[in-house]
Amino acid sequence: MGAHLVYKQHFIWCSIHVSHVIVRGGLRWHIGNAESVNVWKDPWLICKEKSYITSPIPHGHEALKVSDLILQCTNT
């Protein structure tokens, strides 16, 4: 009876793990208006392998937000 319980627990955890992998595989992060996304500290670039800016941070621009890079009149 104890082995059966362990099997059920293992099955449940495996199911949770598999669903987690599937969900993360299709997950996308939308930055919205980008006012809370830090250019240097947040993974906001499209490429999964290089989603962070790796350039040195210019002095005085440590708190730069992605929204600061967007032209508000055209959203580009």
Domain ranges (residues) in the chain: 2-69
Q: What is the mean pLDDT of residues 44-63?
A: 88
The b-or-e profile of 4-35 (16+ CB within 10 A means b, else e) is: eeeeeeeeeeeeeeeeeeeeeeeeeeeeeebe
| Band (59; pLDDT cuts 50, 70, 90) | very high
- Banded model confidence at residue 65, pLDDT cuts 50, 70, 90: very high
Question: Taking residues 38-45, what's their average pLDDT?
Answer: 89
Query: What does pTM read for this prediction?
Result: 0.56
pLDDT at 9: 64
Per-residue pLDDT at 4 exceeds 50: no
